[in-house]
Amino acid sequence: MNWTVLVVDDEAMTRDLLRMMLQRANFSVLEAEDGLDALEKVKQTLPDLIVLDVMMPNMNGYAVCEAIRAEKATAHIPVIMLSAKTHMNAIEEGMLAGANLYLTKPIGFKTLIQSVKDILSNNVPTAP
C-alpha cells in the first residue's frame, strides 16, 4: 500500500530531509510550512499519518494536534510529534494534545521509518 505522510515543519531544510527519508522508504509525502497550512492540507487530503513539529509560527504543533483530534473527519489520523523540545513537560503536553508518538530531533532514518511503519501497521496504539 502506498501511504501518504504529511510533514509539517516551518524549517524548509527539515521538511526536505524528512521528505527524502520518507520517499526513500516508498511513502508519498505532502508538506506544510506551519500549523495553519497543515490544517488546510489535512482537510483537503486526509493523509494516512502526520509528522508534526511543535515550535512553529502562527499555530504550534500542540494546537494543530488538538484541532485535528477535535474534527470527526480527521480525528483518526495518527500524529507523530517531532520536536527539539525534549523535556518531560513537552512530551507530556504532546501526548495530552493527542499525539500517538513523540520523537525528538535530530532523528535518524531507521527510527523515523520504523515509527511510521509501526503506527500505520497498528503495532502502536493510536489515539481515539
pLDDT in tens, 97-111: 999 999 999 999 999
Residue 90 counted as domain residue: yes
Residue 127 counted as domain residue: no
Residue 36 counted as domain residue: yes
Alpha-carbon torsion, ordered 111, 19, 59, 81, to 10 deg = -10
CA distance 62 to 13: 22
Q: Is the peptide bond before 106 cis (omega within 30 degrees of 0)?
A: yes
| pLDDT score at 128 | 40
Residue 128 counted as domain residue: no
| pLDDT score at 86 | 83
Residue 125 counted as domain residue: no
| pLDDT score at 23 | 98
Residue 16 counted as domain residue: yes
Instruction: Please state the pTM of the whole predicted model.
Output: 0.93
Q: First CA to last CA across the chain, in angstroms?
A: 23
Residue 44 counted as domain residue: yes
- State which residues form the domain around 91: 4-120
Using an 8 Å Cβ cutoff, are 117 and 100 in contact?
no
Residue 32 counted as domain residue: yes
Task: Say how many domains are in the chain.
Answer: 1
| pLDDT score at 122 | 83
Percent of the chain residues topping a pLDDT of 90: 88
Asked whether residue 88 carries a pLDDT value surpassing 90, the answer given is no
Check which CATH number belongs to the domain holding 27 and give it. 3.40.50.2300
Write down the mean pLDDT value for the chain: 93
